[in-house]
Amino acid sequence: MPSLNFQQGPIRPPSEAESLLIRTTQGCPWNKCSFCTLFEGMSFSIRSVADIKRDIWAAKAFYKQRKFTTCFLQDGDSFAMPTEDLLEVLATLKQAFPELQQISSYGRAQTMTKKTATEMKAICDAGLNMLYCGMESGSAQVLKKMKKGITPKSILKSAEFAKQAGMKMMTFIIMGLGGKELSDDHVQQTAQLLNQINPHEIRVLSLAVKPGTDLDDMVQKGLFTPLTEQEMVAEQQALIEQLQGIDSQYGNFHSINLLMELSGRLPEDKASLLSTIDRFFSMSEAEQNNFILGRRTHYYNALSDMNNRLYFDTVQQQLSTLSHLDPQALAAMFYQLRQRMI
Ligand code: SF4
């Protein structure tokens, strides 16, 4: 295969694995969140329209006859582009890849709310019809502590803008982002904001603190207490319980999450999502530990995988070598295993 002669950024959402990737911006315009190292050391820039258009045609030549129906615009915020530039890029994309049905991008609330409703509509009509929103929490306290640089008010406003323009919206939520200190507020306010937004899709991630981040520093100083695996599941249980009056798709797709089977459509699957969580909590502590270790060592994908006797016994054997650890030390070890997954 010939080598790529167009730019590719470092990240894309997992659901965009089969999408055409076109880079409109480099890095993140904010780059200050306490837990994030995605664009560490990279300063934000908007690529020139000429360079992006050159990349689009280079991608067209590279993929030859391949037809793409979805495209993701990298990196952190295509809405930071002047609207007329973004419209020109979208027009070129449609010209080069006429089969595209969905074009998506990350968008920061603070950037999007600087556009007018007319501009947002024009962007959606030109093809950018799906927005990924890294909301992470609906709690003003959590957003402030994590230095997200956005507020529940700006998230809601940008969501309204996007939806009024006709865009689909996928929101990311991070369980455990309030730590033990702000856990209740994190869940309550996040549920409340999601209930107001009613996004097309809610995707859940579980926090693992990256070494070297500001958040890691807070942990070391005792200012942030990470949740255990069980506490993280309990948070998600409370979140699902409090989601009301919305018809969003709900999903756990990242392997950092413990219960990957927590996916479905609200409201019809709410009871089954909660019953999966009940199943986890109805297990003995030893069984829960077996499942956690099995998930973190890649033996299990779902609770039902514990029925595989070979896997179960292998994990149990590993667990028995840790029998000298008290519950706190075992939780700390699970925490380290989760950290290794980021
Ligand atoms: S806005 Fe997103 S990409 Fe930028 S620093 Fe925060 S979490 Fe990272």
- Which tens digits make up the pLDDT trace of 155-168? 999 999 999 999 99
Ligand 1 atom nearest the C-alpha of 31 is 5
What's the pLDDT score for residue 264? 97
Written as one letter, the residue type at 252 is N
Tell which residue, 273, 270, 264, has the closest CA to residue 244.
Answer: 270
pLDDT over threshold 90, residue 80: yes
Query: Quick one: tokens of 202?
Result: 């809610």
Q: DSSP readout, 156-172?
A: HHHHHHHHHHT-EEEEE
Q: Three-state SS across 217-231?
A: HHHHCCCCCCCCHHH
Q: Given the DSSP bridges, would you call strands 128-136 and 201-206 parallel, antiparallel or unpaired?
A: unpaired
Contact 158, 148 (CB under 8 A): no
Query: Quick one: tokens of 48?
Result: 């020139």
What's the pLDDT score for residue 3? 65
pLDDT over threshold 90, residue 178: yes
Pocket test for ligand 1, best of 11, 26, 28 (most atoms within 8 A of CB): 28
Contact 43, 54 (CB under 8 A): no
Q: Max alpha carbon distance in the chain (Å)? A: 64
CA of 38 to the centre of ligand 1 (A): 7
- Which tens digits make up the pLDDT trace of 107-151? 999 899 899 999 999 999 999 999 999 999 999 999 999 999 999
Rg for the chain (alpha carbons), in Å?
21
CA of 134 to the centre of ligand 1 (A): 8
List, chain by chain if needed, residues with CB within 6 Å of any ligand 1 atom. 28, 30-33, 36, 38-39, 76, 134
